[in-house]
Structure 1
Amino acid sequence: MKFRLYAVALFFILFGINACQTDDSIPSQPFVIAFDKLSYDFSKIQDVQEIKLVFSEKAQVDGSVLVRITPTNATYGVDFSTLPLAQNNTLDLPFQTGQKTISFSFKNLIFPFDSDTKAVEFEVIKINYNSETAIQGYTKSIISFERSIGAVMQPEVGGPNQGDQVFIDLSTEEITKARRDSWDLGFYGGEASRVTINGSIYMAVKQLDATNIDAVTQSSVEQFFPSVAIGTFDPTNENYIDNPNGHLNQTAIEEISDIAENNKVYLVNMGYTVGTSTPPVGSVAVAGDSRGWKKIRILKQANGYLLQHADLNSTTHEEISISKNNAYNFTFFSLATKSIVAVEPEKAKWDLCFTVFTNTIDGAGSYGYSDFVLNNLKAGVKLYRVNTNVKAYADYKLSDVSEDSFQNDQRVIGADWRDVFTGGAFADRYYIIKDIDNNYYKIKMLGFLNDSGVRGYPKFEYQLLQ
């Protein structure tokens, strides 16, 4: 199976070049030029793609870079060309004093494509600058149809309010975003008849001893309000949330029965809207206003579900049929807008989700976490953690992968990757992930603050093991 390839690389993060010299001297440290991205997806280039190279600091004298072009199953001038034009499969790219980047253009001449076996590699082979130049960093960049070989990514979760859930497919670097409070219930698309609740906004549900949704009123259930909530530091509140390990058979709502009388009414704590206040630098404000309470009952239908829903004091209810769609983990429904909403990508098209999350604390019950990272366990994506005192991140190879170490839990990264007291990512750990197409990547978390110390800006690096 072919995979699309394009990756984003942050040169300065990976190589730590610190340009601190004065402008009137030649730098004592090596002057490094590297590609801004180590790979591009051929299928996404309909016409022209700029290929950029970045410098470790501003050039202090004029110079040039020689880039060698190596095509695979592709012919220069037939399948692709460049600007400037290549001579003997080599580009000579001059730069002047004061420049910090240079670029050239790749022109695709075969869109729509006649083959997905074509690839073009660009490699820095010489830097004409001074005796202290160095060919290091991302010295190669590839344009092809293959899977991503790695990147540094910065999911946009929405700053300290963390208003978005961000789903990432590592092999294609496709990113999907959804507003956290845009959905309430997720209806499973596979064989089981299961319904999930939205833990990213701290929802909770309690099964009632009733099957007539219209007979349930606020006065009959308000005694449960204090307990059907997260963050109460009462271990029994774990009964009102989906098990945070991600196991489908441990949802707060019981599996929907074929026998209608077995499907009870549920009291629903709708959680909180996404926060809007601005917290102190380094803090978060993820929870806004309370969204109130609802009542629901779910019945099984052919190839799907029948959802009954209403406000607590309503003596009538509304109904909607929701069909299963096996291409997705869940079909998502909003009780607020009374409509089906798009949230996750297809289940085969995402590996990690950055989100706010309802987890548990031993002895204290359910609790809300920010900066959380989930893996797509329901589709078979699994991870395990490696400590750097066992093997350094740079040294970990495909041959080091331990199949027995992959965990049956969606929280392997979770929130344990960051230290909220120091504001940094733990440097003593990284993770190995196996996606559903048997691609293996190593992942290192890099941080969750921006340059101003504001929280809600996660960053991570990953590389294909091969």
Structure 2
Amino acid sequence: MNRFRIIIICCLAVFAFTGCKKDKVDYKYPQPFDGQTVQLPGISGNEEGFYAANSVFVDFSKGVVSTARRDSWNLGLYPGADFKAIINHSMGAMAINTGKTDIAAVGAADSIAITQDLTNGTLDFRSSQSSKRIDPVIGTAAEYLSGLTLVKVGATEGESPVYIVSSGMAGTTRNRIPPATGPIIDPSLLQFPWYKFKVYQTVNGYTVKYGLLNAQAFSPATINKNLSYNFNYMSFNSKNVNVEPAKSLWDIEWTWTTYKDANGKPDSTNNFVMVNYLGGVGAIQYTITATKTFENFTAADLANVKDEDYVRTRDAIGEKWRDLIADPNDATKTKNLSKIKGNLFYVIKDGEGNVYKLRFKTSSNLDGGAMGRPVIEYRLVQGIANPSL
């Protein structure tokens, strides 16, 4: 028995010694995604590529591509210290302040103020007043946010004006509404409904009171501020909705959007690429030369690149990467096909400091691709080890 006790005591001593031994542990944080060639799924269903219904988001460092239907939201509410609201730029929505604060008192008659600016019976971005009815289309994060004055968010319900907003028609086949002349518009005739709404502050965020143009009953929606996102979104059909990924989880967005034409006037455009400028993402455009190409651009080429060289604006890439060419098969002459500019590529710095190079490979049948399903290639140039991964 004593012999067994001695054996047990010796074993316990060995275990105690090895348990006290201090091992060296090397922590290896996951590295950013190396990159890929990927087709962006702009098509949601059976729609033509020109009318691609999805906005597509790409997170370079995690290799994730996600989508959101462009018509899935009406308002975006800013979660920062200020109270700001946006309307749906990806559908070409437009809004007007009725000058009233009683939402029940606003009806179809108030739509006359909008229809007076219609062009050929269409809610046209080229109308003389359109620039007053859309959110900013260019600018840095600070410039964009300071320019969000279209929708006033009141401190109380009584201080909040009532707005009439079109749901937007950009990139859809439903692109006409009844003529501006004649009797007051019956909202039931509008292919995309017009709504009335007002937005006011709450302790943790916003309350939105809304309804169809002639509605008298309202079901307010409460949207709490969530700082993980650039904006917190709502739909007049389903209230809270997810649209953009969290601001740290995307770098570029391919979509339709309100923008400007060649003369700087408000317009809408497809195949538009936004960097996540509100999330700190920036881009540098490079023209390919004999010595500088997408393939041979490496970390060594970043030696003379300063952080301020990265352009952090809404249209840092925008529509610069492609040309629009009239579709030879379009009898209406209203649809333009996209064709990539093969002599350009971009260097992207994400919000965490990772640097990628990006090029567009196809965008329509004019360059060997498919409209609504552009193909991009991005590759890691310089990575930052990130413990959060």
TM-score over 0.5 (shorter chain): yes
SS class of match (1:457): coil
Equivalent of 2:277, from 370, 377, 385? 377
Q: Does 1:190 align with 2:75?
A: no
Aligned to 1:117: 28
Deviation at 1:407, TM superposition (A): 2.1
Q: Could you say if the C-alpha distance between residues 385 and 290 of structure 1 is closer, same or farther in structure 2, counting changes exceeding 3 Å?
A: farther
Deviations 1:235-293, CA, capped at 9 Å, x for gaps:
5311111111261222253452325544211110111386469xxxxxxxxxxx83121
| Amino acid in structure 2 at the alignment position of 1:360 | K
The corresponding residue for 1:347 is 247
Name the structure 2 match of 1:456.
Answer: 372
Q: Give the Cα–Cα distance (whole angstroms) in 2 for the partners of residues 116 and 161 of structure 1.
A: 48
1:310 matched to 2:203? The reply is no
TM score, norm. by length of structure 1: 0.62
Residue in structure 2 matched with residue 257 of structure 1 by the alignment: 154
Residue correspondence of structure 1 range 15-94 to structure 2 within 5 A: none
Mapped pair 1:266 → 2:181: no
Secondary structure at 2:80's aligned position in 1?
Answer: coil
1:147 corresponds in structure 2 to 32
Which one of 211, 230, 233 corresponds to residue 329 of structure 1? 230
- CA change 1:453–1:385 in 2 (3 A) is closer
Which one of 311, 319, 325 corresponds to residue 415 of structure 1?
A: 319
My pick for the range that moved more, 175-184 or 390-399, is 390-399
**Matched residue type, 1:379:** G
Structure 1 residues 423 and 268: alpha-carbon distance in aligned structure 2, compared to 1, 3 A threshold: closer
Q: Give 1:230 shift.
A: 5.6
Q: What residue in structure 2 maps to residue 111 of structure 1?
A: none
Q: Contact 2:171–2:270 (CA<8 Å) still a contact in 1? A: no
1:237 is the counterpart of 2:130 = yes
Q: 2:349 aligns with which of 415, 434, 439?
A: 434
Q: 1:410 to 1:294 in 2, by over 3 A?
A: same
Return the letter of the residue paired with 1:189: P
| Deviation of 1:423 (Å) | 5.0
The alpha-carbon deviation at position 346 of structure 1 amounts to 0.9
Which whole-Å CA distance do the structure 2 matches of 1:373 and 1:250 have between them?
21
Rounded Cα–Cα distance in structure 2 between residues aligned with 1:274 and 1:369:
8
What SS class does the counterpart of residue 318 from structure 1 fall into? coil
CA distance in 2, matches of 1:355, 1:367: 14
The structural deviation recorded for 1:309 is 0.3
Query: Cα distance, 1:174 vs. partner?
Result: 1.1
1:400 shift after superposition: 4.2
The C-alpha deviation readout for 1:162-199, integer Å capped at 9, x for no partner, is: 11111110001112211111111111122221111111
Q: 2:293 aligns with which of 392, 397, 406?
A: 392
Corresponding position: 1:446 with 2:361: yes
Opposite residue 314 of structure 2, the aligned amino acid is Q
Q: Structure 1 residues 453 and 155 mapped into 2: Cα distance closer, same or farther (>3 Å)?
A: closer
Q: Aligned with 1:349: secondary structure? A: coil
Alignment check: 8 A CA contact 1:241 1:252 kept: no
Residue 53 of structure 1: aligned partner: none
**Contact 1:382 1:410 (8 Å CA) reproduced:** no
Give, as a single letter, the amino acid of the residue that structure 2 aligns with 1:315.
Answer: Q
Counting strand residues as a fraction of each chain, which structure ranks higher?
1
- Aligned pair 1:169/2:80, yes or no? no
Q: Which residue of 2 aligns with 1:79?
A: none
Contact 1:238 1:360 in 2 (8 A): no
Sort the Cα spacing of 1:116 and 1:372 in 2 relative to 1 into closer, same or farther, 3 A.
Answer: farther
Contact 2:275 2:312 (C-alpha < 8 Å) held by counterparts: no
1:157 equivalent in alignment to 2:42: yes
2:92 counterpart of 1:202: yes
Distance of 1:463 and 1:292 partners within structure 2: 43
Structure 2 alignment gaps of length 5 or more: 1-24, 44-48, 175-189, 326-336, 383-389
Partner of 1:214: 104
Distance of aligned partners of 1:238 and 1:152 in 2 relative to their CA distance in 1, 3 Å threshold: same
Pick closer, same or farther for the CA change 1:275–1:258 going to 2, 3 Å: closer
- Give the aligned residue type for 1:193: F
Q: 1:227 aligns with which of 97, 108, 117?
A: 117
Partners in 2 of 1:200 and 1:433 — Cα distance?
23
- The answer to whether the Cα contact below 8 Å between 1:358 and 1:368 also exists between their aligned partners in 2 is yes
Q: Are residues 210 and 428 of structure 1, via their aligned partners in 2, closer, same or farther at CA, if it must alter by over 3 Å?
A: same
Q: Give SS of 1:430's match.
A: strand
Looking at structure 1, the residues matched to 324 and 72 of structure 2 have their Cα atoms a distance apart, in angstroms, of: 27
Please give the alpha-carbon distance, in whole angstroms, between the structure 2 residues aligned to 1:274 and 1:234: 18
* Residue-pair matches, total: 315
Unaligned 5+ runs, structure 1: 1-113, 119-144, 278-288
What is the CA–CA distance in structure 2 between the aligned matches of 1:240 and 1:358, rounded to whole Å? 11
**Residues 147/453 of structure 1: CA separation in 2 closer, same or farther (3 Å cut):** closer
Query: 1:359 corresponds to which residue?
Result: 259
Q: Distance in 1 between matches of 2:343 and 2:171?
A: 32
Q: Deviations over 1:385-428 (max 9, x none)?
A: 12224843334322242322222312111122112328531122
Structure with more of its chain in helix, by fraction: 2
Instruction: Return the alpha-carbon distance in structure 2 between the equivalents of residues 305 and 312 of structure 1.
Output: 21
CA 1:353–1:232 in structure 2 vs 1: closer, same or farther (change >3 Å)?
A: closer
The answer to whether the Cα contact below 8 Å between 2:132 and 2:150 also exists between their aligned partners in 1 is: no
Identity among equivalent positions (%) equals: 27
State the distance in 2 between where 1:213 and 1:367 align: 30
TM-aligned CA distance change 1:391 to 1:234, over 3 Å: farther
Higher mean displacement: 414-423 or 346-355: 414-423
